[in-house]
Amino acid sequence: MVEQAEIRVVHQGGSNITFREPAISSDSRFLLCASGHNVKVFSTVTEECVQELRGHADLVTGVLLRPSNHLQAYSCSADGTVRLWDFTDGILIKTYVIGYPICSIYASASHDGVIFIATPTKGYKTLDSLQLLAVHLPQTAGQLVETSDLSAVLSDVSANPATVAFGRAGEYVASTNGVQLQIFFFKKQKSFRFSLKENSCSGRSNTFTCVACHPTDDCIATGHEDGKIRLWRNFDQKREYTYRTLHWHHSTVRALCFTPEGSNLLSGGVESVLVQWRYQQESQQDFLPRLGAAITHIAVSPDGALFCTSHSDNKIVLIQSCVKVSSIIQGLVKGEAVQTDLMVDPRSKALVLNGKPGHLQFYSLQRDRLLFNLDVVQQEFIHQEGLDQFQVVMATLDGAGAWLATVEERKQETAEAELNLKLWAFDEPSQSFVLNTTVSTPHEVRITAVTFDPAARGQTSLLVSCGRDGLFKAWRLAVPAHPDDGGPSWTCDFVSAYHGLTPQRCCFSADGSLLAVGFQEVVTVWSPASWELLLTLSQPPGIIRDLCFGRLSCSKFLLGTTSSNQLCCWNLLTCSLEWSTSMEVSLLLADPLSDNMAAFCHQDGNTDLFVFKPSEPRPLFSQKAVCSGRVSRAVFAPREVALESCEESSQWLNRSQLYFLTPLMDLLTFSTRAEEERLMTASKQLVVDDSVAMTPFQLLLGKRRPHHQAAVEDPAVRPPADRPVPPGGSAAVRELLQSPAHVLPAAAALCSVFMEALLGVATETRENETSAGETPSDPEEEEEEEDSDQEMETRATRPERGLLETDSADPVLSRAQVRELRRVRKLDHSWFSSLLDS
């Protein structure tokens, strides 16, 4: 279908950054982490994402610094490739094709040219049984390298990447699976296996969860599900091995890591406390408590000064020497389930949804950054599994973003459920929401829906809440009777029920003049001004699941979905059913800026999307199988700049963008082809236009680029990665000028190369031109041959001079001149470097 090519479902922002252990660069300035299909490079100081390494076609499953070159990093992916990157500049250096999906990657400094990967054992499709392979990376030139030299090291490896570790100087590798510890010595080619009992005496599981090896000592630390840490020694003997048990964690140890000198062992788990154990004096511990969420990975910078912990709430915390949190890199927080609806904050245009437990997060989709977390519950969160704590189950914003209503619940199942309705006012000076009113137990039983009147402003704001107790209540902002009682607060204005039925849904019309409340099978329409019941509509059988008023030109329609898979549209003017159709709609949504409606339909395990106007019989757009599973959260986010797409099928995306959450908590959106093209051109421009200041060097070399780009694109002429001699002269110069200074060798070493490169460019191009014959040369090219004093001249005069010279200058060099140039090239420039040295 044409439409499907026109509009695509894409990931947009909010990808997981804590899927795998991050890597810290050797100078502690950058942090690399796998994020969806890309690798992100963050600055550890500013918390900004400085590079995004794109190239993998599937989930990136591991990031690793190259042990032999601290400026390069490996990444592996489920697409079966390992890629080598220069992460400071974001350049893909090499792609090694393995051919099997890779689950994790390891390397050891003493195994040069070898990386270790975990891949599924042949014959097994699933990730249950993995094997550890050693891959000898071939030293061939060229970007795409097929690797065939694979050798199995260990079989029966766990899918958890934390269960494999390389020991002192890479002499052995330790791996755990279940209750078994396996150690393989490379020199002796011998492996040892140690087993623990399934359960300890206290009845808790002994299963290994992670392993770490001491960098200088023969000691392996293992973490267990019951919170114990075991330090294994003498494991090169079958019988005389010993272990020591450390127990502080009360639940599973998720991550273990030794500091580079081996003086400390770091551990973390569900408690969200980073524990630092002194090696050899394990009774002494240091703690860093309240890190916010369960620790999943711990990494230490090579100099040991910077620790970084990944947390289950998609956050990376950087810690300076175990005492101070220096920065926090926070992605879109994904809990186990998003219970609130997706909303868009009208002020910041941020997506609002459940964040950390007890918080609401405001996530900017434009900048792909978490703006802030609003602490709704305002209680200390106890990091303990199986504890029933307050959860934010509902949130709604009013039309202007001035009020936020949240509902929090605890003990949802039992009779004594604790319920709080909180109303937050937007505070201009602090630019955040401030608690205004707390209503404890607003309804006897659970609240099923809360909604604000979208049209009301300021003092007339109106909130409606429906509860399982069969009541719906209207709340209004009331000014207190006594002026010294404080500011205005919310009070219950109206309570009503309808024949003892449970209200499930409520919805305001766009102008706030009508309120529709769905009482099981009956839709009641009320006038909020007088609280009169205006009419009732019903469409049996089936309980009303969703209600939505039409917008703009379709505001006379009320749409509802029922549990018997009917989508009904009532005309409110005639009070009759306009049309109905049978489809299992899991979510019905109205675009606030147009009269379009979106319906997500669940069919055969997949979700289909239909976009339609209530007044028109044919859908504007439909797409089958948007994602698998049932979509229950989606939102129309208004665009900052409206698109001007003329394609009929994509016009509905002009004013606002549709975001939805899949059952796996991925945030997806729809993007049109026009939009993508615009993005692509923008990124291309970014590459071409590296707007360097207009320096003499820029003038000297700027217009050369077309030539050397052609050279680079030709794979035959492409320089090898280690770059010993620059063959394409100006390319080398460009490298030299553009690569950051800290990456380059000493200026003395570069000097001669640079000089030669300059000369080489001139001659080469000149020769090219002479062979081509008629190419009119650029004025700048002429200038390169001029003396250096001319290059020192100001920029303003240069172009005019160039213009003048276009006519007068001789486009073709004489033979004598060429010879002269060659002679200059052969000259020894080492005197210049010695000059620099002195």
Partner 1 sequence: MASFKPTKIPVYPKLGEKVTQDTLYWKNYKAPVQIKEYGAVSNIDFSPVAPHNFAVTAFSRIHVYGPFSQEPVKTFTRFKDTAYCGRFRSDGQLLVAGCEDSVVRLFDVSGRVALRMFKGHTKAVHVTDFTSDRYQILTGSDDYTCRLWDIPNAAELSTYREHTDYIRCGVTSKLNRDLFITGSYDHTLKVFDARAEKSVMTMDHGQPVESLLLYPSEGLLVSAGGRYVKVWDLLKGGQPLVLLKNHHKTITCLALGSNGERLLSASLDRHVKVYNTTTYKVVHNFDYAAAILSLALAPDDESIVVGMTNSILSIKHRKHTEESKEMMSQQRRRPSYRVFVKGKNFVPKPDDYLVSKPVKEHLAKYDRELKKFNVSKALDASLEIWLRKKKPEITVGVIKELDRRGTLKNALAGRDEEQLSQLLHFVIGNIVDTRFAPIILTAAEMILDIYKSVIGQSALIDQQLLRLQNILESEINLEQELLEVLGMLDTMFATSVTRKEVPYSDVGRSNGLAQGEASSSRPELFRPPEIK
CB-nearer residue toward partner 1: 230 or 311: 311
725-751: b or e for each residue (b if 16 or more CB lie within 10 Å)?
ebebbbbbbbbbeeeeeeeeeeeeebb
Distance CA 583, CA 118 (A): 45
User: Whole-number minimum distance, CB 574 to partner 1, in Å?
Assistant: 7
Q: What is the CA radius of gyration of the chain?
A: 33
Residue 11: both structure tokens together:
């990931």
659-687: b or e for each residue (b if 16 or more CB lie within 10 Å)?
bbbbeeebbbbbbbebbeeeeeeeeeeee
End-to-end CA distance of the chain: 71
CB 137 within 8 A of CB 151: no
CB-nearer residue toward partner 1: 289 or 720: 289
Of 108, 85, 109, 107, the closest CA to residue 95 belongs to: 85
CB-nearer residue toward partner 1: 378 or 683: 378
CB-nearer residue toward partner 1: 18 or 520: 520
CB-nearer residue toward partner 1: 411 or 819: 411
User: Whole-number minimum distance, CB 128 to partner 1, in Å?
Assistant: 35
CA 788 from centre of chain:
50
User: Whole-number minimum distance, CB 496 to partner 1, in Å?
Assistant: 11
Whose tokens are 């490379």? That residue is 186
Residue 509: both structure tokens together:
């019309």
CB-nearer residue toward partner 1: 539 or 662: 539
Q: What is the 3-state secondary structure (H, E, C) of 80-121?
A: CEEEEEECCCCEEEEEEECCCCCCEEEECCCCCCEEEEEEEC
Answer positive or negative: Cα dihedral of 381, 385, 387, 392. Answer: positive
CB-nearer residue toward partner 1: 222 or 539: 539
CB-nearer residue toward partner 1: 155 or 536: 536
CB-nearer residue toward partner 1: 95 or 438: 438
User: Whole-number minimum distance, CB 480 to partner 1, in Å?
Assistant: 11
User: Whole-number minimum distance, CB 320 to partner 1, in Å?
Assistant: 12
The full DSSP string for 732-775 is: HHHHHHHS-GGGS--HHHHHHHHHHHHHHHHHHHHHHHHHH--P
User: Whole-number minimum distance, CB 527 to partner 1, in Å?
Assistant: 13
Distance CA 836, CA 819 (A): 28
CA distances from 17 to 310, 315, 330, 446 (A): 8, 7, 8, 35
> Which H or E run contains 816?
helix 815-826
Burial label, 829 (beta-carbon count in 10 A; 0-12, 13-18, 19+) = middle
User: Whole-number minimum distance, CB 593 to partner 1, in Å?
Assistant: 29
User: Whole-number minimum distance, CB 383 to partner 1, in Å?
Assistant: 11
> What number of helices (H) and strands (E) belong to the chain?
11, 57
Distance CA 412, CA 419 (A): 9
CB-nearer residue toward partner 1: 33 or 288: 288
Contacts with partner 1, residue ranges (CB under 8 A): 288-292, 325, 375, 378-380, 382, 384, 387-390, 410, 416, 440, 482, 484, 498-499, 521-522, 533, 535-541, 574-577, 579-581
Distance CA 396, CA 430 (A): 20
User: Whole-number minimum distance, CB 562 to partner 1, in Å?
Assistant: 10
Distance CA 456, CA 513 (A): 10
Give me the residues paired with residue 247 across strands: 228
CB-nearer residue toward partner 1: 147 or 432: 432
**Edge-to-edge, what's the strand order for the sheet holding 391-397?**
391-397, 403-410, 418-427, 432-440
CB-nearer residue toward partner 1: 564 or 739: 564
Pairing of strands 91-97, 144-146: parallel
CB-nearer residue toward partner 1: 215 or 542: 542
- The residues, ordered by sequence, that sit 6+ positions from 552 with a Cβ below 8 Å of its Cβ are 510, 594, 595
CB-nearer residue toward partner 1: 108 or 252: 252
User: Whole-number minimum distance, CB 138 to partner 1, in Å?
Assistant: 47
User: Whole-number minimum distance, CB 477 to partner 1, in Å?
Assistant: 18
CB-nearer residue toward partner 1: 297 or 422: 422
Calculate the CA dihedral of residues 270, 274, 278, 281 and round it to 10 degrees: -40
Distance CA 693, CA 696 (A): 9
Distance CA 164, CA 131 (A): 11
Q: What number of other Cβ atoms are within 10 A of residue 54's Cβ?
A: 11
Q: Where are the beta strands (DSSP E) in 289-354?
A: 295-300, 306-311, 315-320, 324-330, 343-344, 350-354
CB-nearer residue toward partner 1: 142 or 540: 540
CB 620 within 8 A of CB 578: no
CB-nearer residue toward partner 1: 216 or 379: 379
Backbone φ and ψ of 101, nearest 5°: -60, 135
CA 52 from centre of chain:
11
- The residues, ordered by sequence, that sit 6+ positions from 607 with a Cβ below 8 Å of its Cβ are 586, 600, 601, 625, 626, 627, 628, 629, 630, 631
CB-nearer residue toward partner 1: 416 or 428: 416
